[in-house]
Amino acid sequence: MAMTNQSDRIIFDDVSKFYGEVLGVNRISLNIPPGVTTLVGPNGSGKTTLMNLMTGLVQPSSGTVSVLGLKTVDADRFFREVGYCTQFDSFPRGLTGFEFLMDSLLLHGMHPGDAIRLAQEALQRVKLTEAAHRKIAGYSKGMRQKIRLAQAIAHHPRVLVLDEPLNGLDPMARAESLALFEELGRQGMHLVISSHILDEVDRISDRVVLITGGYLVAEGNIHQVRQEVRDKPMQVLIRCDKPELLASKMFAVNHCVEARLHADGGGVFLRTGDIDQFYRLINEVAVEGMVKIEAVAPADDDAYSIYQYLIGSEGGPAR
Amino acid sequence: MTEQAGTLVRRLMEQPWGLWWLQARRLIRIEVRRNLLSKRAWWIYFLAFVPTVIILIHLLIERHPQFAINEDTTILAGIMQFYYIRLGIFFGCLGIFSRLIRGEMIERSLHFYMLAPVRREVLLLAKFAAGAISALALFGTATIANFAFIYLGFGAAGQDYMFNGAGMGQLEAYLVIVVLACLGYGSVFLLLSMMFRNPTPAALLVFGWEAVNPVMPSLLQKISVASYLRHLMPVTVQGQDIFALLTVTTEPVPGWVAALGLLVLIAVVLTYSCYRMRTLEIRYTTE
């Protein structure tokens, strides 16, 4: 692994985790920089195990994990920098949302006045202020998801680990949460997100980590990962005034393997086995002036497509 | 050697003791609130106060002849030795201390503490302290109330026994025994709850071990909470029939040695519990 500044990285160094004889993850090495990183994989692929390893809820069978150069054994410092919104849908009994946040913040050793301010701020960020003084036991699933998120972000961590954070949220709350994640990512935080709702998370992700059966399949910038999947033809959407003409021209070359008109008739999806050749040809067409090209954009270098190519559809994520 | 000791002291001084103390206090407050104010704690209240209620009923409906004060002192000693130490505190501590870690695993809420910026040793010791405070609040209060209700019925003679006779010394000894019993059984059950998914069978083994311990060889008697406490009893009660097993006279041990021996046992158990806590994993699916 290349030497990097550990103080701003999440590093997995040859990490394996076995639950008895059952494989959790096997020989995972990752070096995650700040920004939004999405963990993608089918159910049971090891996403939650990776997150639990990152936060010390489980211990690696071999290898080491460090977050911003810190280890979980140094809990005083580690959990000031890290917030983890788990999938566990359970809470300490008998608490209101506000009391839950206060108990959590006071364990940081902060002054009660500061804890109240941070709790109120977190409740506002997840839009749960009105229900703050109701018992969590009476919350809906979406509200419980929000209060978990509030607890994870309340102390202003530098690393936020979110296991399926959009589960149970209605479309409006999902959009608000995504906007919040995007904003936190822009502020230079580490966000590690696992989600089945890929096309939403995909929009805010800087990086993707694909994992299946406990093995790392690919990782990196989504576009780079897509480029590396060279055995799968790439799909490109071209917006133009004469999509049928363009399709016929492009289909004449042998690296174009599929052409499909866009539903609105204003463009064509083309699938090609040689993207460099493809772009050269598009340039030539544009110069000839027979077809007026308005836009060219990759149509399958999102996390979902990469997931489909590398892992397949079995037990796959939702769009 | 001196240099190493100096380094160790310096490193100890550098630790954030103030923060740990603050975190421990806050954890204790959370835990005591849950231990004492939860509806689930009713049966521990029952265990603690059922003799108190019986003594109170006797006080209200029976006249206490003055000559019976020694008899009632022996009855009180029997209640402490046979009920509280062997049953009430034993099962009360099982309920309180096994809930601290295992109960939270079953309720799937332990991860909130594991994800807080609190060292796991601080978390464990704070939970232990909270359990001890809860148990002491219940069984200590019950012991004082039992004492008060027993001697209240004797009027001036009871008052005289309490404040000018052996009464106050006996009450102090019983309170020390209750403290040591709560700490001793508490540490054992806390550890058992971390070792086993269901600590009850293991606790019943401990129960049997404590019962037959007096007839064990001297060395094995040292691995028992009740055997240490027996040496601290201010009033000796001779059991009849099966209860005779619980009052077997063993080799005499000074009170301070018994108390110290039990504290060492508690320290050893808690040290091992801290080690287990450091390596504890959250795997609710296996619960």
Q: What tens digit of pLDDT does each residue of A255-282 get?
A: 777 888 888 888 888 888 787 888 888 8
Looking at residue A195, its pLDDT comes to: 79
Helices B155-163 & B167-195, crossing angle to 10 degrees? 70
Cα atoms in the 13 Å half-sphere on the side-chain side of A37:
26
Looking at residue B241, its pLDDT comes to: 61
* A253 touches A276 (CB < 8 A): no
Asked if the C-beta of B117 comes within 8 angstroms of chain A's C-beta atoms, the answer is: yes
Statement to judge: residues A240 and A101 lie in one domain: no
Statement to judge: residues A116 and A182 lie in one domain: yes
A83's tokens: 């917030």
Q: What is the DSSP string of A11-65?
A: EEEEEEEEETTEEEEEEEEEEEPSEEEEEE--TTSSHHHHHHHHHTSS--SEEEE
| Structural domain containing residue A128 | 6-227
| Sign of the dihedral defined by the CA atoms of residues B135, B141, B145, B147, in that order | positive
Contacts of B118 in chain A (CB under 8 A): 75-76, 79, 107
Residue A178 phi/psi, 5° resolution?
A: -60, -40
* Tally of CB atoms within 10 A around A133: 10
| Residue A317 located in a structural domain | no
Residue A148's domain is classified under what CATH number?
3.40.50.300
Statement to judge: residues A119 and A48 lie in one domain: yes
User: pLDDT at residue A230 above 70?
Assistant: no
User: pLDDT at residue A70 above 90?
Assistant: yes
Looking at residue A93, its pLDDT comes to: 85
Q: What is the dihedral of CA A82, A87, A92, A94, to 10 degrees?
A: 130
Statement to judge: residues A51 and A116 lie in one domain: yes
The structure tokens 């009923």 sit at B57
For chain A, the domain total comes to 2
Statement to judge: residues A142 and A269 lie in one domain: no
CA distance B159 to B74: 17
Cβ of A88 within 8 Å of Cβ of B111? The answer is: yes
* A145 touches A167 (CB < 8 A): yes
In chain B, the residue whose alpha carbon lies closest to the alpha carbon of A108 is B117
ipTM exceeding 0.90, yes/no: no
Question: Which B residues, 177 through 206, put their C-beta within 8 Å of a C-beta on chain A?
Answer: none
| Residue A307 located in a structural domain | no
* Tally of CB atoms within 10 A around A31: 15
CA distance B222 to A77: 41
Residue closest to B177 by CA, chosen among B231, B98, B97: B231
**Mutation choice for B interface testing from A48, A57, A71 by most B CBs within 10 A:** A57
Contacts of B283 in chain A (CB under 8 A): 19, 58
CA distance A16 to A7: 23
Q: What is the C-alpha end-to-end distance of chain B, expressed in Å?
A: 47
User: pLDDT at residue A2 above 50?
Assistant: no
Give the global pTM: 0.83
User: pLDDT at residue A143 above 60?
Assistant: yes
Full pLDDT tens readout for chain B, 287 residues: 678 888 888 888 888 899 999 999 999 999 999 889 888 889 999 999 999 999 999 888 876 666 688 888 999 999 998 899 989 999 999 999 999 999 999 989 999 999 999 999 999 999 999 999 999 999 999 999 999 999 988 888 888 988 988 889 999 999 999 999 999 999 999 999 999 988 999 999 999 888 887 777 777 777 788 878 888 888 887 766 656 655 555 666 777 888 888 899 899 999 999 999 999 998 876 55
Statement to judge: residues A176 and A288 lie in one domain: no
Statement to judge: residues A155 and A237 lie in one domain: no
DSSP 8-state secondary structure symbol assigned to residue B100: I
